[in-house]
Chains A and B, each alone.
Chain A
């Protein structure tokens, strides 16, 4: 059987399962709350593993391999900080209060939370517009990554690759909404995990063990096994923070806490999510091994696909490919739901006070997800240079805008409406401006963005009027 045929069979079986999940979950999605947050009835395994799948896009796996290839074993720290800050501490600090407060305030979205918590239509609209704008760019980057994977490994033209993945995602998201997203993500997390573990085992076997891998890297350049090594502290720390602490402000991840069945779900969920996120170290580790086993790659992003082809059978390689595609699809689907909710629930219904016909909200939500998906696909066919530039800013800009208003909104009773607004706008402008002027000192725009946002949130809240006792009691109970 030819290699391409094996890839095609694995991918077709996998895509057929996703379509089936779309049909099954579609029958259970009857209200807007079902469509956006699964009716707050999601259990620990599905919540935790769908969080992991939404966290790691194909860009992270392919790009992580590229970083490992370029900078060596010090990049393991990015994976470790992902586990510590991006998962364990995030679940413990945000999970319980986000679940409680959003239910008390009866909100289904992050901008909706700002609108109710801070009694601010501006905070709601500003955050929703930033999320819609930059999440579409983020979606384009995910589609682009998937298209290149199809192109390199299966010889499917780029446009056909993104069309295939995009149409299937649009189908199951528009039919089954959030339930389809979390259940497909649950399956996708397993595919990603198995793919990365298989690749790691065979890579270690091929190079003769972890010790010989480190010795071979040291022979190339000792900086490839030392920390911070050839990358240096500023680049390593700021990148690790944006992809870890940034999670705290990313709507497609924070919304997982909205949908929990109850607070007890967090007990098992936190442990499962932490174990699942440990797979974050593997792309970097394998990328570093690829530096030895596949030397001289012109494009470091080909480290993982090339390593898979070199050390695995066509079947094993197809599993890894399916894992990478799964990572992209789960993230794209999660973002699509967020975009739909921001446009319909936040911008149209609450921000612009549009009256939607009774019983039509669910239909509009589905139509919005299809339109946004099609727009992302059209841009991804031939993304303009400006879109590609802004794509790199998406995480930094969104997280700098939303992170402190979320955190202070659930932990500091004195956080005021003006504190929220000024922190949002200041964090946004600083992060975007820093990236536009070319990341001075090699520091990612997220770092100055959150520093400015933090200072503004505290200072402005201290000097502006707070909320009534009734409002605070309504939230805190």
Chain B
């Protein structure tokens, strides 16, 4: 059993959702670098 009496496989759904927020921040700051000439 995971936190709050939630089975681990069910609890992972919350982790996936909040992990996406972290991932999107990392992508926005360090990965996505649009070039100036991309904005035509």
Q: Give A residues with C-beta under 8 Å from B.
A: 73-74, 76-77, 79-81, 83-84, 87-88, 91-92, 96, 100, 103-104, 209-212, 214-215, 218, 225-227, 229, 262-264, 266-268, 270-271, 274-275, 278, 280-281
Contact = CB atoms under 8 A, between A and B. Distances in A.
A356 B40 CA distance: 28
B10 A270 contact: no
Contacts of A212: 5
B5 A227 contact: no
Contacts of B12: 80
Interface in B11-38: 12-14, 16-18, 20-21, 23-25, 27-29, 32, 34, 38
20 contacts: A76-B10, A80-B14, A83-B16, A83-B20, A84-B16, A84-B17, A84-B20, A211-B5, A226-B9, A262-B39, A263-B34, A270-B24, A270-B27, A270-B28, A271-B24, A274-B20, A274-B21, A274-B24, A278-B18, A278-B21
Contact of A227 (B10, B18, B21, B28): B10
B interface, by DSSP: helix, strand, loop or mixed? helix
B7 A263 contact: no
A359 B10 CA distance: 56
Contacts, number: 95
A281 B9 contact: no
Given A73-B10, A214-B6, A225-B10, A281 B27 contact: no
Contacts of A96: 32, 34, 38
Given A274-B24, A281-B14, A104 B5 contact: no
Contacts of B18: 278
B5 A215 contact: yes
Contacts of A103: 40
Interface residues of B, number: 25
Contacts of A270: 24, 27-28, 32
Contacts of A76: 10, 13-14
Nearest to A224: B10
A207 B14 CA distance: 20
Contacts of B40: 100, 103-104
Contacts of A73: 6, 10
Given A80-B16, A263-B39, A226 B10 contact: yes
A74 B14 CA distance: 11
Given A73-B10, A226-B10, A92 B27 contact: yes
B24 A278 contact: no
B24 to A, nearest CB: 4
B20 A267 contact: no
Q: Which of B4, B12, B28 has the most CB of A within 10 A?
A: B28
B38 A100 contact: yes
A229 B5 CA distance: 15
Contacts of B4: 209-211, 214
A92 to B, nearest CB: 6
Given A88-B24, A211-B5, A271-B28, A74 B10 contact: yes
Q: Which of B16, B17, B25 has the most CB of A within 10 A?
A: B17
B16 to A, nearest CB: 4
Contacts of A280: 17
